[in-house]
Amino acid sequence: MAEWYFEENGAQRGPVSEGDLNTMLVNHLLPPGTLVWTASLGTVWKPASQTHLEAAPQRLRPPPLPQVAVAPPPLPAAHRSALLQNPGGVVSASSSEWPSDYRPEQVAPHDDYAKWLAFSPLLLLVIDLVLFANGNDVVDGPFAGATPFLGAWGSLIFASLDARNIYRSWRNPKHRALIPFVLLSPIGYFWRRAWLLKKGFGYLWVWLACAAFYMVVLGAMMQRA
């Protein structure tokens, strides 16, 4: 399997596998104009958009056989001189905007923890129903504070895990604050998350619907208590 190198902030990165580099491009972790190089390109670095990378199918592949490392040619002189003239790290509009010290070990992006947080009112409802079925007053009884306590800590835990995955999957390159917004309730966290990822407010609406259903069922239990 060919090894690839790519340019980031005027510096050479790699080697990485073709699948990993393609994943970064498809998920917009690298801009399409990123300069890339592999042995088949000879002595020329090309923008990723002028290669087959983004069209490569995503599939499981065996690890590469041991092979002699091939050193890439130096980066174009224009990029090196631009980096010297701009120590801030942004070489051009096509280069990455990540700060030079932003280098967490990349993990696969997922929204599992956000889903748990969105449906957390239903988890609290199950706890209240179990307590109510065993003859406990969920409002004034000895376990009245159980679900608010679990809800507050559960929201903080799920939000922390979700924010950590967003950062480590390179979806928050500027490391903008996320976790403090959960103190405004999950509404604040999901609003901030949607603004950061530009993915809409779907999880916010799910949480609001689950919270409304929880309040309706809780009111019915209070009337029967």
The full set of domain ranges for the chain reads 3-85, 112-224
Does residue 61 surpass a pLDDT of 90?
Answer: no
186 compared with 97, residue with greater pLDDT? 186
Q: What is the pLDDT of residue 75?
A: 62
Tokens of 193: 């998350």
Q: How confident is the model at residue 56 (pLDDT cuts 50, 70, 90)?
A: very low
Out of 27-31, 37-41, 100-104, least confident range: 100-104
Q: Could you give the count of Cα atoms lying within 13 Å of 180 in the half-sphere of its Cβ?
A: 3
Query: Whole-model pTM?
Result: 0.53
Tokens of 182: 């959960």
CA 76 to chain centre: 32
Q: Rounded CA gap, 87 and 25, in Å?
A: 25
Q: What is the pLDDT of residue 93?
A: 37
Q: How confident is the model at residue 34 (pLDDT cuts 50, 70, 90)?
A: confident
Q: How confident is the model at residue 104 (pLDDT cuts 50, 70, 90)?
A: low
* Mean pLDDT of all residues in 186-201: 91
Q: Which long-range contacts (CB under 8 A, 24 or more apart) does 144-151 make?
A: 150/124, 151/120, 151/121, 151/124
Tokens of 149: 């306590």
Q: What is the pLDDT of residue 183?
A: 84
Does residue 43 surpass a pLDDT of 50?
Answer: yes
pLDDT digits (tens, 9 = 90+) for 149-158: 888 899 999 9
Count CB-CB contacts under 10 A for residue 68: 4
Does residue 120 surpass a pLDDT of 90?
Answer: yes
Q: Rounded CA gap, 15 and 5, in Å?
A: 5
* Mean pLDDT of all residues in 18-44: 85
Q: Rounded CA gap, 167 and 185, in Å?
A: 21
Share of the chain above pLDDT 70, in %: 74
